[in-house]
Amino acid sequence: MDWQQAWDQLGQRGYRKTQQRMIVVKEVFAGGCLQGAEEILSRCREKDGGISMPTVYRTLDMLVDAGLVRRVNLGLGRTWFEPGGPDDDHHHHLVCEQCGKREKIALCPLGIVENEAKRSGFKVRELHFEAVGLCRSCAAKERKK
């Protein structure tokens, strides 16, 4: 999915098509995995100039509601965003807490968890599955200390 398809989807949901929203949508879809709100804001400002943090968050909220962007929580005190719906292309991460280096985890336990949850009548809405650690080079530096 490219930004224009996402943009159309928002229109179909009745959201007004404003300049600011378009910029945010473009930037989020131009970026990759795990983008921070602050980072999205500054990228939008490089292109446009006038855009505010509340608008970034509001637009991200609607993108998440529309199932076009995923919200990812790494337990590091802030939220990350990435293009893609909850089903489509969904994946998990391995992140270096020192340098931020990141890679995707191939495995996804969602199916197993849903099965286990179903037994007690639980309906899973969000699966947090993220690993934080040290990449090879940061682990090496750590050892030298």
Partner DNA sequence: TTGTAAATGAAAATCATTTACAAGTAGGTG
Partner DNA sequence: CACCTACTTGTAAATGATTTTCATTTACAA
Residues that bind a copy of itself (CB under 8 A): 73-75, 94, 96-97, 103, 105-107, 109, 112-113, 116-117, 120-136, 139
Surface-to-core class of residue 81, CB atoms within 10 Å of its CB (0-12 exposed, 13-18 middle, 19+ buried): buried
Question: Which two three-digit tokens encode residue 27?
Answer: 């930037």
Binding residues for DNA, total number by CB under 7 A: 25
> Site for Zn ion (CB under 5 A): which residue of 101, 110, 127, 129?
101
Strands 79-83 and 69-73: antiparallel
- What is the rounded distance in angstroms from the CA atom of residue 55 to the CA atom of residue 66? 16
Smallest gap, in angstroms, from Cβ of residue 57 to DNA? Answer: 4
Smallest gap, in angstroms, from Cβ of residue 41 to Zn ion? Answer: 20
Q: From the list Zn ion, a copy of itself, DNA, none, which binds 82 (C-beta under 5 to 8 Å, kind-based)?
A: Zn ion
Among 59, 48, 72, 44, residue whose Cα is nearest residue 13: 59
Identity of residue 31: G
Residue found by looking up tokens 């099965």 in the block: 115
Residues 17-36 that bind DNA (CB under 7 A): 17-21, 36
Q: From the list a copy of itself, Zn ion, DNA, none, which binds 131 (C-beta under 5 to 8 Å, kind-based)?
A: a copy of itself
90 makes contact with DNA (CB under 7 A): no
* All residues at 6 or more sequence positions from 37 whose CB lies less than 8 Å from its CB, including other chains: 53, 56, 57, 60, 78, 79, 81
Smallest gap, in angstroms, from Cβ of residue 83 to a copy of itself? Answer: 19
Smallest gap, in angstroms, from Cβ of residue 120 to a copy of itself? Answer: 6
| Interface with DNA (CB under 7 A) | 11, 14-21, 36-38, 50-55, 57-59, 61, 77-79
